[in-house]
Structure 1
Amino acid sequence: MRSTPWPDGLRFAFGTLTVLPVRVTRWDRAAARGGMLCAPLAGLVTGAAAAAAGLSLLFLGSGALLAAVATAAVPAALTRGLHLDGLADTADGLGSGKPAEDALRIMKQSDIGPFGVLTLVLVLLAQVAALARAYDGSWARGALAAVVSATVARLALTLAARAGVPAARPEGLGAAVAGVVPPGGALAAAAAVTASAAAGGALLGPSGALRAAAAVVLALAAAELLLRHCTRRFGGVTGDVFGGLAETAATTALVVSALG
């Protein structure tokens, strides 16, 4: 297995998962492996930017709701809405009830169907409502929720790109990254993010540490359930499925962060 210098992995992660001006210099499987292992770092930067936007408005007196809207908008902007688009396409494919080949064709269409629209509306409402509740708790709790949710959203991609998960199509981003991450690397990334989230939550007290760790674990569990369902329905993963997994993990983490 060809090794990948970490700079190539970082460029792959930031160049494919954000709109930041990072030039991807390698597109081979080794670079994809490094990129997927570095995906949580792209999420960390995205989450920090989202938290900064929300806190800026909060400290200017906007109130929790407007701060929550800004916080939810930043990850969408930093991905050009690709993850939300993937979520909508995945919902349309799953909701169609058609065989895998027909469902994949529906997902490739440029329009969004009723299942996709409904899913987008409910997910965005849930994200904004959860963030507003977290900001009502404290500015630190809201900021932590933003960072944890964005990081675990990209961690879900790391786990979905592990060996043994096939691609549904022979082309596209899903095929480029499917199966590139060794299971041990995926588990190590999950453990590191969970521990880091708990450490950040500990600044808010023992309950904050528990809530942050639970947000990561439950978000990954929700993404794993969706991954397994999509793999059964479509025969593997696609770029759209990756987007759906990211938004599912982010929303679950935000809801857990708002509880208690």
Structure 2
Amino acid sequence: MSGTPSRAVDVLRFSVGTLTAIPVRPPSSVEREVTRPAMVLAPLAVLPLGALVTAILWAGRELELAPVAVAATAVAALALASRAFHLDGLADTADGLTCSYDAERSLQVMLRGDAGPAGASALVLVLGIQIGALTSIQHSAWGPLLAGTLVCVSRGAAVVMSLRGVKPARQSGLASSYVDSMSPWTAAASWLLLTGLVAGVFVLDDQPWWRALVCSAVALVAIGWLIRRATRRLGGVAGDVYGASIEVSLAVMLLAAS
């Protein structure tokens, strides 16, 4: 019985420590009993980040600041609050998927950490979409809350990426502890819950609830494409692909919501 609270603390530490820049002690274990539920808790772990984006957009709108500058500030704050971890994964994934047809060479390029032309282009395009969409979203009454909610919901991509049957690109590394670990029922229940949350915010903002289904659908298509592409080119998914899926999911959901 005494191990249950300790494991719950480890799950929370792993989720918060992996997905945010909030200082927490490292978990005592990174076994699947810890990392798998931590992926499910990912949207909850980033609530402070969603609140930060909401506050920036709301304050900028009330102060009548330039909407594009406010949106860019919100995106910059989100990057800082997550240590730009997912943006780094996006750049590395783009470079890895375009550098070579040899899986081993591609994985080596992804490990280098520097951004090549493909990685830089991916960052510009994805961040541009996020900023442009936030510029539009912040104008509606509950737009800042919708944006903050989508920040949290986009982290649900980690659950889909962890589905059983999705193979790891490497047999070592942190990602191997949660890739190919999530049951379809858990992933479906998690995604439906997140979609329902977004639908509630749309209704609060006097918009059709079904727009949440559109946001959910485009995100799932983007995640599915990344899984398929990474599996064909790399032999499976790596931690960088998780980061890419989160940033791309956020971009397409914000675009659909705008």
Letter in 1 for 2:233: R
Distance in 2 between residues matched to 1:91 and 1:151, nearest whole Å: 23
Q: Which residue of 1 aligns with 2:195?
A: 194
Aligned pairs for 1:126-137 within 5 A: 126-136=129-139
Q: Which residue of 1 aligns with 2:156?
A: 155
1:56 to 59, 70, 81: 59
Letter in 1 for 2:222: A
TM-score by length of 1: 0.91
Q: Which residue of 1 aligns with 2:166?
A: 165
Letter in 1 for 2:249: A
Letter in 1 for 2:185: G
Q: Which residue of 1 aligns with 2:68?
A: 65
Q: Does 1:13 align with 2:9?
A: no
Distance in 1 between residues matched to 2:8 and 2:75, nearest whole Å: 30
Contact kept? 2:164, 2:179, Cα under 8 Å: yes
Q: Which residue of 2 aligns with 1:245?
A: 245
Deviations 1:10-53 (A, max 9, x none): 22211111111222323111000110111121243322221112
Contact kept? 2:145, 2:201, Cα under 8 Å: no
Q: Does 1:24 align with 2:26?
A: yes
Q: Which residue of 2 aligns with 1:221?
A: 221
What's the secondary structure of 1:171's corresponding residue?
A: coil
Contact kept? 1:127, 1:255, Cα under 8 Å: yes
Contact kept? 1:32, 1:180, Cα under 8 Å: no
> Structure 1 residues 95, 140: CA separation in 2 closer, same or farther (over 3 Å shift)?
same
Letter in 1 for 2:171: P
Q: Does 1:123 align with 2:115?
A: no
What's the secondary structure of 1:166's corresponding residue?
A: coil
Distance in 2 between residues matched to 1:250 and 1:190, nearest whole Å: 14
2:88 to 85, 88, 106: 85
Q: Could you tell me how far 1:76 is from its partner in structure 2? A: 0.9
Distance in 2 between residues matched to 1:226 and 1:49, nearest whole Å: 28
Q: Could you tell me how far 1:239 is from its partner in structure 2? A: 1.0
Q: Could you tell me how far 1:152 is from its partner in structure 2? A: 2.7
Q: Does 1:107 align with 2:110?
A: yes
Task: Indicate the RMSD between aligned Cα atoms, in angstroms.
Answer: 1.8
Distance in 2 between residues matched to 1:242 and 1:74, nearest whole Å: 20
Contact kept? 1:154, 1:246, Cα under 8 Å: yes
Contact kept? 2:53, 2:147, Cα under 8 Å: no
Name whichever of 220-229 and 248-257 sits farther off: 220-229
Q: Which residue of 2 aligns with 1:236?
A: 236
Distance in 2 between residues matched to 1:50 and 1:199, nearest whole Å: 19
Letter in 2 for 1:168: A
* Number of residue pairs the alignment of both structures matches: 254
TM-score by length of 2: 0.92
What's the secondary structure of 1:15's corresponding residue?
A: helix
Distance in 2 between residues matched to 1:180 and 1:90, nearest whole Å: 21
